Amino acid sequence: MTEVETKCAMIAVIGAPNAGKSTLVNALVGAKVSIVTQKVQTTRARVRGIAMADDAQLVFIDTPGIFTPKRRLDRAMVAAAWGGIEGADQTLLVVDAPSYVAGETTGGQAGKSRGDTDRIIEGLQKANSKAVLALNKIDDIARPKLLAMAQALNEAGVFSDVFMISAKNGDGLRDLKAFLVEKAPQGPWLYPEDQLSDISDRLMAAEVTREKLFLRLHQELPYDSTVETEDWKQTKKGIRVEQTIYVARDGQKGIVLGKGGETLKIIGKAAREELTEQLGQPVHLFLHVKVRKGWDDEAARLRNIGLDVVE
């Protein structure tokens, strides 16, 4: 009996903030491995999502959005994103197609997104690196504009293939995944067949709470707020989890707590329900809010959320 040759590919997923990278990785894996919010720079560290397709294992490296960094935390996130390309078998550049087109004539977030994408392409050119281009959110853009955009971007000379997709509703994902499987080199799987991510339960729990925090307070709270899992105990009644939400200023603590602690209760309830579903057993979640001024400039804190410190 002939032994089946296995295939395995590391695929770095890069792009500007809010291009839809995490949504795409979750869709390709078939499970939620990265948090998703409408807030830019939600993803901070490289998270690996693992998808199986017959004899092939695809390891997607979901990276932070690449933008022009201003602070130490920003530089660490951008470095983590570019670092995801190193050693990858394929680089997948995800572009928010409607924002990119709108950014040509308008400013604001669309203009920033277009500028960030153009700088990523320039970075690929300088590194003499090839990438697969995934034009995302195609359901929100007219076909003629989409085709013109694809042709213009392809002239950069860094894209080996172009796919038009919607990570949200699944358009084009089957073809993209089949292509990545076809291009995957032969080799042993890096993870067990039933493993969906390399993220630990403790970090996953912190990420889930951070997602609920941003979904509830995305307009009031800066993205540099963070969540840390301080204690994790398995008990007869389930898992007891204690987490601390760190904010940079006293005023932000009041925002997170809400009147009579009501906002924190809502955030905790949403996080607890999702964690209970993900972990398959009751989760007893206890949240605390603390002020740590300048926490994002502390090397230890950067490393604690999975980022390399970049001086």
Tokens at 278, concatenated: 């993900």
Give me the pLDDT at residue 1, please.
Answer: 35
Kindly report, residue by residue over 122-176, the tens digit of the pLDDT: 988 988 889 999 999 999 999 999 999 999 999 999 999 999 999 999 999 999 9
Mean pLDDT along residues 198-221: 85
The pLDDT confidence band at residue 310, using thresholds 50, 70 and 90, is very low
The pLDDT confidence band at residue 86, using thresholds 50, 70 and 90, is confident
**Residue percentage of the chain with pLDDT more than 90:** 53
- CA dist 228 and 219 (Å) reads 21
Highest mean pLDDT among 79-83, 192-196, 296-300, 302-306: 192-196
Highest mean pLDDT among 57-61, 74-78, 111-115: 57-61
Secondary structure of the chain in the HEC alphabet? Answer: CCCCCCEEEEEEEEECCCCCHHHHHHHHHCCCCCCCCCCCCCCCCCEEEEEEECCEEEEEEECCCCCCCCCHHHHHHHHHHHHCCCCCCEEEEEEEHHHHHHCCCCCHHHHHHHHHHHHHHHHHHHCCCCEEEEEECHHHCCHHHHHHHHHHHHCCCCEEEEEECCCCCCCCHHHHHHHHHHHCCECCCCCCCCCCECCCHHHHHHHHHHHHHHHHHCCCCCCCCEEEEEEEEEECCEEEEEEEEEECCHHHHHHHHCHHHHHHHHHHHHHHHHHHHHHCCCEEEEEEEEECCCHHHCHHHHHHCCCCCCC
* Backbone phi, psi, residue 243, to 5°: -130, 150
Give me the pLDDT at residue 267, please.
Answer: 96
- CA dist 34 and 174 (Å) reads 20
The pLDDT confidence band at residue 302, using thresholds 50, 70 and 90, is very low
Give me the pLDDT at residue 4, please.
Answer: 67
Mean pLDDT along residues 199-224: 82
pLDDT above 80 (res 3): no
The pLDDT confidence band at residue 69, using thresholds 50, 70 and 90, is low
pLDDT above 80 (res 289): yes
Give me the pLDDT at residue 41, please.
Answer: 52
Q: If we measure between CA atoms, which residue out of 3, 10, 9 comes closest to residue 56?
A: 9
The structure's pTM equals 0.76
The pLDDT confidence band at residue 221, using thresholds 50, 70 and 90, is confident
Give me the pLDDT at residue 76, please.
Answer: 65
Mean pLDDT along residues 32-60: 75
**What average pLDDT does the chain have?**
85
What domains are defined for the chain? 7-183 (3.40.50.300), 201-304 (3.30.300.20)
**Residue percentage of the chain with pLDDT more than 70:** 82
Give me the pLDDT at residue 298, please.
Answer: 47
- CA dist 99 and 96 (Å) reads 6
